């Protein structure tokens, strides 16, 4: 069987590379380093199908330096050490450091990442890591501090259309067919900014058409994908779509759908820590103050999953999934912090009122720092009304309690203390 279209069309140079102009366009930071022939270790963070692996290969070709690749899914500490030893023995003094490309570096354990540190620090290898997950969570701090971080974006509509036209015009197999792009909205929508998905969809639709002339319409694309829903995602990278469906099912209070999407992730080999983290976010963002215990329960489940692993870890994950889906919902804290952030960005650094300022020195006390502050515990009910916001923001409201039993009690108490300030 021949290579898939996405592999046949993999760019060989930066001139062929589509997208990521902020990194590799004329005058961009990564382009400058590549053109200068010297790069430092870095990590590429971005969604699937945006060109992380391709960019690493292009850099290696451009620099004409040995290129070693490891997959974090199949490689262990022993494999890492063997590659480093090979790189060390094959290097000449005049050569740039060999490039070690690690795909899905977020799946490397701490010990695997530790085994890279010395080689990266001494310049034995130049590390290029690729990850779809936030490196702050997944890459150990000592390694992260030795690497630059570059964020890749989903491809934009213009990039995807350029890719389609290039595929039709340059691929030897596609050139044998008369392909007419009559409509492209469905292909772009299903691709989700993922170049590999887009090319897989194109190939799937073309292969399904027996006529020499292939007229691509939105209806034809939808029909073909409904007949073969996984075919456009040959690498199983439904990662972002499924986690989105999972969280939206919880937010929409549908425990059956939430369990289904959880099962899809488990069966697909999703990292349990990723699922648990997203449940933590959901507990804080979507359930929030309507049921504050949700955050505690998810945190306990997260801890349990890390201790017991698979397959038993599916049980606490399922428990908290159902708990969150069936809980009352509130995003008042989420909306409140977003509103406060907008105000801070719009108003800048408003001065802290004098009575709230710390006064560790005599001069500060003489200037009135902390002078009028009222210590709440010295008053009945441990409360006394005073100003806590900056002078120019005294009337601002950020937290708006929502309609659920838990927040109704909070609202009642706050209105009693603050003379009705929290009435909508």
Q: Is the pLDDT of residue 279 over 90?
A: yes
Residue 180 in contact with residue 189, Cβ under 8 Å?
Answer: no
CA dihedral sign of residues 262, 267, 268, 269:
positive
pLDDT the model gives residue 359: 67
Taking each helix axis from N to C end, the angle separating 293-308 and 314-326, rounded to the nearest 10 degrees, works out to: 170
Alpha carbon distances (Å) from 266 to 256, 260, 272, 276, 400: 15, 10, 8, 12, 37
Q: Phi/psi of residue 237, each to 5°?
A: -95, 60
Q: Is the pLDDT of residue 108 over 50?
A: yes
Q: Is the pLDDT of residue 308 over 50?
A: yes
Residue percentage of the chain with pLDDT more than 90:
10
Mean pLDDT of the chain: 82
Q: Is the pLDDT of residue 368 over 70?
A: no
pLDDT the model gives residue 412: 84
pLDDT tier at 255 (50, 70, 90 boundaries)?
A: confident
Q: Is the pLDDT of residue 239 over 70?
A: no
pLDDT the model gives residue 232: 44
Q: Which residue has the higher pLDDT, 76 or 141?
A: 141
Cα 377 to Cα 265: distance, rounded to the nearest angstrom? 50
Residue 188 in contact with residue 160, Cβ under 8 Å?
Answer: yes
pLDDT tier at 91 (50, 70, 90 boundaries)?
A: low
Rounded mean pLDDT of 319-338? 89
Residue 79 in contact with residue 111, Cβ under 8 Å?
Answer: no
Helix (H, G, I), strand (E, B) or coil at 123: coil
Q: Is the pLDDT of residue 231 over 50?
A: no
The pLDDT tens digits for 383-419 are 888 888 888 888 888 888 888 888 788 888 878 888 8
Highest mean pLDDT among 223-227, 284-288, 307-311: 284-288
Rounded mean pLDDT of 82-109? 77
Q: Is the pLDDT of residue 257 over 80?
A: yes
Residue 332 in contact with residue 289, Cβ under 8 Å?
Answer: yes
pLDDT tier at 283 (50, 70, 90 boundaries)?
A: very high
CA dihedral sign of residues 406, 278, 156, 215:
negative
pLDDT tier at 1 (50, 70, 90 boundaries)?
A: very low
* Tokens encoding 207: 């292969």
Rounded mean pLDDT of 166-181? 85
Q: Is the pLDDT of residue 259 over 80?
A: yes
Domains and CATH numbers, the chain: 20-151 (3.40.50.300), 157-227 (1.10.8), 239-326 (1.20.272.10), 352-417 (1.10.3710)
Taking each helix axis from N to C end, the angle separating 157-170 and 195-208, rounded to the nearest 10 degrees, works out to: 50
pLDDT the model gives residue 321: 93
Residue 271 in contact with residue 108, Cβ under 8 Å?
Answer: no
Cα 232 to Cα 49: distance, rounded to the nearest angstrom? 12
pLDDT tier at 294 (50, 70, 90 boundaries)?
A: very high
Residue 264 in contact with residue 229, Cβ under 8 Å?
Answer: no
Q: Is the pLDDT of residue 314 over 70?
A: yes
**Closest Cα to residue 194, out of 235, 229, 223?**
235
Helix (H, G, I), strand (E, B) or coil at 113: helix
Cα 327 to Cα 220: distance, rounded to the nearest angstrom? 41
Residue percentage of the chain with pLDDT more than 70:
91
Cα 113 to Cα 121: distance, rounded to the nearest angstrom? 13
Taking each helix axis from N to C end, the angle separating 314-326 and 239-251, rounded to the nearest 10 degrees, works out to: 50
């Amino acid at each position: 069987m021949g290579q898939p279209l996405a592999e046949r069309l993999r760019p060989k140079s930066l001139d062929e590379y589509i997208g990521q102009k902020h990194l590799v366009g004329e005058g961009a930071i990564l382009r400058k380093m590549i053109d200068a022939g010297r790069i430092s270790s870095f990590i590429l963070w971005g969604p699937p199908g945006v060109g992380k692996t391709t960019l690493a290969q292009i850099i290696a070709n451009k620099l004409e330096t040995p290129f070693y690749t490891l997959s974090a899914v199949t490689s262990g500490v022993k494999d890492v050490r063997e590659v480093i030893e090979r790189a060390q023995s094959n290097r000449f003094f005049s050569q740039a450091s060999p490039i070690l490309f690690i795909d899905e570096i977020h799946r490397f354990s701490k010990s695997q990442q530790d085994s890279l540190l010395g080689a990266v620090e001494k310049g034995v290898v130049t590390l290029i890591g690729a990850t779809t997950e936030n490196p702050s969570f997944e890459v150990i701090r000592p390694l992260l501090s030795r690497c630059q971080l570059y964020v890749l974006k989903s491809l934009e509509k213009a990039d995807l259309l350029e890719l389609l036209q290039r595929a039709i015009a340059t691929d030897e197999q596609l050139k044998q067919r008369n392909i007419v792009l009559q409509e492209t909205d469905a292909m772009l929508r299903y691709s989700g900014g993922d170049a590999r998905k887009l090319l897989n969809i194109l190939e799937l639709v073309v292969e399904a058409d027996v006529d020499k002339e292939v007229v691509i319409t939105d209806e034809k694309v939808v029909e073909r994908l409904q007949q073969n829903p996984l075919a456009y995602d040959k690498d199983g990278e439904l990662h972002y779509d499924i986690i989105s469906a999972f969280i939206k099912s919880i937010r929409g209070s549908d425990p059956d759908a939430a369990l289904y999407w959880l099962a899809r992730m488990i069966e697909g080999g999703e990292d349990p820590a990723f699922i648990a983290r997203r449940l933590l976010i959901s507990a804080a963002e979507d359930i929030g103050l309507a049921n504050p215990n949700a955050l505690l329960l998810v945190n306990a489940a997260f801890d349990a999953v890390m201790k017991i692993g698979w397959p038993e870890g599916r049980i606490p994950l399922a428990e908290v999934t159902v708990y969150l889906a069936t809980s009352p919902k509130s995003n008042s804290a989420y909306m409140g912090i977003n509103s406060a952030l907008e105000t801070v960005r719009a108003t800048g650094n408003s001065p802290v009122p004098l009575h709230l300022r710390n006064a560790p020195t005599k001069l500060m006390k003489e200037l009135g720092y902390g002078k009028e502050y009222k210590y709440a515990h010295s008053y009945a009910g441990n409360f006394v009304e005073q100003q806590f916001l900056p002078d120019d923001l005294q009337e601002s409201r950020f937290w708006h309690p929502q309609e659920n039993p838990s927040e109704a009690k909070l609202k009642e108490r706050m209105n009693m203390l603050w003379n009705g300030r929290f009435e909508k």
